[in-house]
Amino acid sequence: MEEVRQPRNVAILIFDNVEVLDFTGPFEVFITGSNRGKDFKVYTVAEHDRPIIALGNLSINPTYTIYNCPTPDILIIPGGWGSRKEMQNEVITKWIREVSNDVELLLSVCTGALILAKANLLDGLQLTTNRLAIDELNEAAPETAEIIENARYIDNGKIILSAGVSAGIDMSLYVVSKLFGEERAKHTAKLMEYDWKV
């Protein structure tokens, strides 16, 4: 008899001044691609138990804090203007570093790459970020890393990084295809009415 696998926990970090589509795009992909909740349990996580004010003054209540969230199988670090503050937040970078030891996949969208750089997780990897933040990533990234400017997303195995904003949707669809096959990802994109280029 086939073993029933628990849904993978997909944790999406949110913080003040996070770019809205950086986290809602992947959220939508993993919810839509979850096979009605059987394959992914998606939730937001923040440092504090209070509303997060995203760009544009969108207020979001995080589902969990970093202190009480279920153990993530997939952790997504979005970007936005707030990433410049969070990359200096040692509580957050330490938490990401610790959680990264046990996750199956660690994903970043846009300038979430800056936070991963400050968490010391990008040695020897190929990196990308929002085209407008390439210089910032050059400053933050280790010398052993290689920055690829024109990639939509880059798969380093456990760590996958995407370019800015809507590129997080493409990366997330790619991850769905990596875990469950291209047909699942194409079906997810179709349900979202999203023009995904495989």
Read off the pLDDT of residues 125-172 as tens digits, 9 standing for 90 and up.
Answer: 999 999 999 999 999 999 999 999 989 999 999 999 999 989 999 999
Q: Is the pTM of this model over 0.85?
A: yes
pLDDT of res. 3: 60
Task: State the pLDDT confidence band at 1, using cuts at 50, 70 and 90.
Answer: very low
- Decide if pLDDT at 2 tops 60: no
pLDDT in tens, 112-124: 999 999 999 999 9
The CATH number given to whatever domain includes residue 174 is 3.40.50.880
Taking the CA atoms of residue 32, residue 19, residue 198 and residue 194 in that order, the dihedral angle to the nearest 10 degrees is 50
Assigned domain for 2 exists = no
Taking the alpha carbons of 131, 161, 178, 76 in that order, is the dihedral positive or negative? Answer: negative
Looking at the structure of the chain, the number of domains it has is 1
Establish if 143 belongs to a structural domain: yes
The fraction of the chain above a pLDDT of 70, given in percent, is 98
Expressed as residue numbers, the domain containing 137 is 8-192
Indicate whether 197 belongs to any domain. Answer: no
Alpha-carbon torsion angle 172, 175, 181, 184, nearest 10: -20
Q: Is residue 98 part of a domain?
A: yes
CA distances from 139 to 48, 124, 158, 182 (A): 29, 15, 23, 36
